[in-house]
Amino acid sequence: MTQKRIAIFGSTGSIGTQALDVIAAHSDLFSAEILTAQSNDALLIKQALQFNPNIVVIGDEKKYLMVKEALASTSVKVFAGEKALEEVAGLDCYDMMLAGIVGYAGLRPTLQAVGMGKAVALANKETLVVAGDIVMQKARENRAAIIPVDSEHSAIFQCLIGEGNNQIDKIILTASGGPFLGKKPNFLVTKITIDSATLMNKGLEMIEAKWLFDLTPQQIQVVIHPQSIVHSMVQFEDGSIKAQMGLPDMKLPIQYALAFPKRIVNNFPRLDFKKQHALSFEEPDIKTFRNLALATEALNKGGNMPCILNAANEIVVYAFLRNRIGFLDMTEVIQQAMQKITFIEKPTLEEYFETDGEARNFAASLIHM
């Protein structure tokens, strides 16, 4: 392998920092060409001093001077603002983008990279949830490879290698079940913590899988798998099932995506079947985890409905983290947004952007922000 130049969009987040660990461990194979962060200027500066990228972008323009001055003695070029993120993604100085910006904000830079024909290691599921049809069509037109980083989608991607045109019967996405596994709605009312899972994440993954693997909603199944050893499965038309397994560690799918199509050595912990005494699977409880039911509804409806779902969800999660809304109330706001915002069966990119803004404003209007 010749050294691959990586642009990490979202370098200070969990995915970005782990990707830099992979790059540091394999500096002969990878270099960090572009690093971007929204507001964590201190960590971005530290990363830039360690990895000496060509370019860094800080999304928060108020922090531009701090970053610029801190890197004045280096050759690193410093830019700021949302527009800069998009423009830098359109440059030809990198080979692969790691799309690690959280949420809807990752869509525009990813579209730029795909338009340039760049390979994209996709860790931002919202990009395909919001505008999967447009992103995947643009990827096909520009022959831009999209390699999933989410452990579940990476698992499916790996299971499909070598299968060519063999017909998929269905894919099976696994979910750990989160801290409320086995609990009923009345438990949720009284025992909520800020770390709680809603399974909306799994619903968004279902929508992302539809676009990544060109599936119908009926070909996508979710099962609860508390041990998190089987990362996902593919069942083919002959009934056989392939599963990708391993200890839960995001560095592995990150490394796989960056090095694809090669597998490269690492010192990550290995799964020992002598210590893994049981693997269990069960149906998700959609009466308790109603967000999964809403996501399934959006998946089946198509059009701009997943965009509405995602926008409302981002608003309610933001509000919940700031104690502006109760845990169970989040689902109600998302459901109302899905009922009230105008449905468009085949939206243009501009209509997706308009839908996102409209859904966010509507959701926020129902919350005391």
Query: Which structural domains are found in the chain, ordered by start?
Result: 4-149 (3.40.50.720), 302-369 (1.10.1740.10)
Q: What phi and psi, each to the nearest 5 degrees, are found at residue 55? A: -140, 140
Q: Span 309-319, mean pLDDT?
A: 93
Q: Looking at residue 104, what is its pLDDT? A: 82
Q: Looking at residue 196, what is its pLDDT? A: 40
Q: What is the pLDDT of residues 148-176, one digit of tens each?
A: 999 999 999 999 999 988 999 999 999 88
Q: 170: which strand partners?
A: 235
Q: Looking at residue 181, what is its pLDDT? A: 55
Q: On the CB side of 86, how many CA atoms lie within 13 Å of its CA?
A: 7
More confident residue, 104 or 337: 337
Task: Report whether 284 contacts 222 (CB < 8 A).
Answer: yes
Confidence check: pLDDT of 11 > 60? yes
Between helix 305-321 and helix 349-365 the angle, nearest 10°, is 40
Q: Looking at residue 193, what is its pLDDT? A: 38
Q: On the CB side of 198, how many CA atoms lie within 13 Å of its CA?
A: 24
Confidence check: pLDDT of 137 > 90? yes
Q: Looking at residue 287, what is its pLDDT? A: 83
Q: What is the distance between the alpha carbons of residues 206 and 224, in angstroms, rounded to a whole number?
A: 14
Q: Span 306-329, mean pLDDT?
A: 92
Q: Looking at residue 324, what is its pLDDT? A: 93
The H or E element spanning position 155 is helix 151-160
DSSP assignment, residue 54? S
Q: What is the pLDDT of residues 322-342, one digit of tens each?
A: 889 988 899 999 999 999 999
Among 63-72, 202-211, 231-240, 314-323, name the one with the lowest average pLDDT: 314-323
More confident residue, 189 or 1: 1
Q: Give the confidence band of 191 by pLDDT, cuts at 50, 70, 90.
A: very low
Q: Looking at residue 182, what is its pLDDT? A: 55
Nearest of 252, 255, 213, 204 to residue 234 by alpha carbon: 213
Q: What is the pLDDT of residues 45-65, one digit of tens each?
A: 999 999 999 999 999 999 999
Q: On the CB side of 344, how many CA atoms lie within 13 Å of its CA?
A: 18
Q: What is the pLDDT of residues 92-102, one digit of tens each?
A: 999 999 999 98
Q: Tokens 């969009």 identify what position?
A: 9
Confidence check: pLDDT of 250 > 70? yes
**Average pLDDT of the residues of the chain:** 92
Nearest of 91, 89, 52 to residue 71 by alpha carbon: 52
